[in-house]
Structure 1
Amino acid sequence: MAEQTIRFDDGAAYEQMMGIWSRSAGEIFLDWLAPPAGLRWIDIGCGNGAFTELLVERCAPVEVQGIDPSAEQLAFARTRPAARLAKFRQGDAMALPFADRSFDAAVMALVLVFLPDPVKGISEMVRVVVPGGSVVTYMWDMLGGGFPLDPIYDEIKAMGIPANRPPRMDASRMDALRELWLGAGLADVQTREITVQRTFSGFDDFWATSLKSPALRPSVAAMKPADVEALIAQVRARMPTDTDGRITCNARAHAIKGRRPG
């Protein structure tokens, strides 16, 4: 599988393709964290603000800063109700534009595997939280069948066709997350799995929504028409369909939390 830079530059398309999934997993994630009200949060790789909105809705923060490299995604985020509190700015997860100890909690939602250097990204999370502050993430289980688009990627792989994938999918493994958090010197490290479902009105809905992925879309666009037809047939055959033609898919994420000592 090819590993290339993947850019998310369409906030509306991301909302349909992944924002709904992110929200489902994010709700369970926040229930697990059970953070107190009144915290200062940084949402790193906030994208179009899907998870940022959950923070504002459910956690009664006093401050939320959303950081993302995509101006287009941030523009979408600023249209959300969360923008009444959350501030969004362009920035690099591996060089956060904030002083040391600026926040009570740092979170990445579905971001870690896209960082060229996860160790550096986590060190930045630790740097910007106060002693005792939380450093947390959840990430699809990219190598264990937990990614929502795996039904399509698995069939592309079976056809022997290259596809765009994130650069550090290994960082999504639970043992890898633990190693990263412990290696960053974090204390009270805990993990859990998060399983979610999503129902599509039919195969066409599932296919069109999935093709909004900025990684998957160019992979399929580069295929020969006959291969695309074969891919669609193979994916359709493997998807569970109820009597009304609806398709319900499962996804699984790995979550981890830790505390900066001090």
Structure 2
Amino acid sequence: MVAYVATSAEAYERSMGRWSARLAEAMLDVLALPAGAAVLDAGCGTGALSAAISRRDGAARITGVDLSEAFLASARARVPAGRFMVGDVTRLDLPDDAFDAALSLLVLQFVPDRAAAVAELARVVKPGGLVAAAMWDFTGGFAFLRAFVDTVAATEPEGEAFRARYWSDPIGTPGRLSALLRDAGLREVAERDVVIRQDFADFADWWGPWAQGGQGIAGAFVATLPPDRLPRIEALCRRAYCAGAADGPRSFVAVARLATGRRQA
């Protein structure tokens, strides 16, 4: 079964990182972190959220944790003042009560034990500290990727299982993230949509990062396919992207669900 691949920061930026950066800004607009806060970026990836925090507040004390050393190298380059380390968000090698805020951007969909991850975020924040998690609404709000996954589910032997793996358990649908935060004992739990636009110059801009980079879930799926099937799949995906119109720019709405809560004081 295809899994999430995180081995090339450059390829990831072309496929998903550019949208993570846009969502990070929208997420911070909602959170309004205090000046000089100690912030954990749990599952920091290539550093999109850490970089956005640093741009807004040069005094913020940022710690990032991720499983991918390749992604961490990118995060360190983007935020030289930050502290970035290899680690598992379900077993953080960090002390209790260490942060003003613990944030998770686009991570929990891919964590096997989500409850453990949220419990760790709650553990490492100070009493009264903020915990926030955002995840794409794969089912109802991620049109650019749904166009791809529905195409391969209808045409490829492996496609239905691939779609089911991520779309049958949509942690970004309303109510799911907030339930995790409540179960972790957080208070003042709230949830809302955060919306961005994903703008593509043409079909090549949409398809190319998956076909050439092999990152994330879509790129990893494409990379496992036999080469002789790729031209047909590309042609079908082109039809899905163009939707009867000429190739050219497209702008898709992407919806993420953001849940926030505070540790008991």
CA positional deviation for 1:96: 0.6
Distance across 2 between alignment mates of 1:13 and 1:221: 13
Q: Secondary structure of 2:138's match?
A: coil
1:12 corresponds to which residue?
Answer: 10
Which residue, out of 107, 117, 124, partners 1:121?
117
CA contact (8 A) 1:134 1:258 kept: yes
CA positional deviation for 1:111: 0.3
Larger displacement relative to structure 2 (182-191 or 156-165): 156-165
| TM-score normalised per structure 2 | 0.89
CA positional deviation for 1:243: 7.1
CA contact (8 A) 1:114 1:167 kept: no
CA positional deviation for 1:227: 4.1
1:257 aligns with 2:254: no
Distance across 2 between alignment mates of 1:147 and 1:99: 40
Which residue, out of 98, 103, 114, partners 1:102?
98
1:67 corresponds to which residue?
Answer: 65
Q: Secondary structure of 1:15's match?
A: helix
Residue identity in the other structure for 1:245: G
Residue identity in the other structure for 1:248: S
Distance across 1 between alignment mates of 2:254 and 2:157: 23
Fraction of identical pairs, as percent:
33
Q: Deviations over 1:29-49 (max 9, x none)?
A: 111111221110000110111
1:136 aligns with 2:132: yes
Structure 2 gap segments, 5+ residues each: none
Structure 1 gap segments, 5+ residues each: none
- 1:163-178 pair list within 5 angstroms: 163=159, 164=162, 165=165, 169-178=169-178
Residue identity in the other structure for 1:162: E
Q: Deviations over 1:131-157 (max 9, x none)?
A: 100000111112324264222111111
CA positional deviation for 1:222: 3.4
CA positional deviation for 1:200: 1.9
Distance 1:218 1:63, change over 3 A: closer
The structure with the greater share of residues assigned to helix is 2
Distance 1:210 1:248, change over 3 A: farther
Distance across 1 between alignment mates of 2:155 and 2:251: 24
RMSD after superposition: 2.3
Distance across 2 between alignment mates of 1:145 and 1:160: 23
Q: Deviations over 1:77-132 (max 9, x none)?
A: 1111x22x211111110111111001010001100011110000000000000010
Larger displacement relative to structure 2 (194-203 or 156-165): 156-165
Q: Deviations over 1:52-91 (max 9, x none)?
A: 10011124443100001111111111111x22x2111111
| TM-score normalised per structure 1 | 0.90
| Structure 1 consecutive aligned stretches of length 4 or more whose deviation exceeds 6 Å | 241-244
